[in-house]
């Protein structure tokens, strides 16, 4: 029991760090840099707030490194429930990491282009357009990643639901959050004009699913009243 509690609370700590770095990147840094549909304003923001832009890249790298630690901690916690599903959960996280590193490389490249350290023979307008192209590729990459943000929550939710040492309601919340992520990704890719409609409901469902399991793991860990049969 004590071992399970330690594993659960460690996973909760990693989950909290992933949430915090995610919020910093999406809600704090990005709005100060990116101006949708305005290449000139975005370029000016990147140059004027270069250090903040670099912090955003570092924050992203830290977030995804902790994401790996999180899923490994969850694997140790939940592998006794169903080892194959636990392996699938880990795989659906690991495949995301190379894509994230490539996207961060594109961010650095866009900064170098805007500063004139690359493509020095190009005019300012051309460099701005190319930098925005790389940033736009980043945005499309995020839409694709959003599908995997949902996919990994499905085996995670099933494992939590079947675990018996974590309340089943959190498993249901995770499954709903996973489906919401996947639906948001599909709508954004297939019907981009309607993506704004699903954004707020997706955020709400994801908040309920991921914040609730984070708080439970961090402060409660596992249920105290598990019978010997349930532990097995």
Domain that holds residue 95: 2-231
75-120 pLDDT tens trace: 999 999 999 999 999 999 999 999 888 888 888 888 888 887 777 7
* pLDDT of amino acid 37: 67
pLDDT for the residue numbered 228: 35
pLDDT at 231 > cutoff 60: no
What's the pLDDT at 137?
A: 85
The total domain count for the chain is 1
Q: Does the structure show a pLDDT above 80 at 174?
A: yes
Segment 28-38 mean pLDDT: 83
**DSSP, residue by residue, the chain:** -HHHHHHHHHHHHHHHHHHHHHHIIIIIIHHHH--TT-HHHHHHHHHHTHHHHHHHHHHHHHHHHHHHHHHHHHHHHHTTT-HHHHHHHHHHHHTTHHHHHHHHHHHHHHHHHHTTSS-TTS-HHHHHHHHHHHHHHHHHHHHHHHHHHHHTHHHHHHHHHHHSSS-HHHHHHHHHHHHHHHHHHHHHHH-GGGHHHHHHHHHHHHIIIIIHHHHHHHHT-S-S---HHHH-
pLDDT of residue 230: 42
State mean pLDDT over 61-79.
95
Distance of CA 25 to the CA centre of its chain: 10
CB 58 within 8 A of CB 24: no
Identify the pLDDT of residue 226: 53
Check the CA dihedral 67-73-79-82 and report its sign. Answer: negative
Mean pLDDT of 204-222: 92
Supply the pLDDT for residue 177.
Answer: 96
């Amino acid at each position: 029991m004590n071992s399970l509690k330690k594993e659960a609370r460690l996973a909760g700590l990693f989950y909290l760090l992933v949430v915090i770095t995610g919020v910093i990147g999406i809600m704090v840094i990005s709005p100060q840099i990116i101006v949708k549909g305005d290449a000139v304003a975005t370029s000016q923001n990147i140059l004027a707030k270069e250090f903040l832009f670099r912090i955003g890249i570092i924050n992203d790298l830290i977030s995804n490194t902790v994401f790996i630690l999180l899923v490994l901690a969850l694997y140790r916690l939940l592998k006794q429930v169903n080892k194959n599903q636990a392996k699938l959960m880990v795989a659906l996280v690991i495949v995301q990491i190379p894509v994230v590193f490539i996207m961060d490389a594109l961010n650095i490249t866009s900064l170098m282009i805007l500063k004139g350290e690359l493509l020095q023979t190009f005019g300012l307008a051309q460099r701005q357009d190319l930098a925005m192209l790389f940033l736009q590729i980043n945005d499309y990459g995020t839409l694709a990643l959003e599908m995997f943000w949902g996919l990994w929550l499905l085996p995670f939710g099933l494992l939590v639901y079947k675990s018996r040492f974590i309340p089943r309601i959190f498993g249901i919340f995770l499954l709903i959050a996973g489906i919401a992520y996947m639906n948001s990704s599909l709508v954004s890719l297939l019907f981009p004009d309607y993506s704004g409609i699903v954004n707020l409901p997706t955020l709400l469902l994801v908040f309920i699913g991921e914040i609730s399991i984070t708080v439970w793991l961090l402060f409660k860990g596992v249920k105290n009243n598990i019978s010997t049969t349930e532990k097995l």
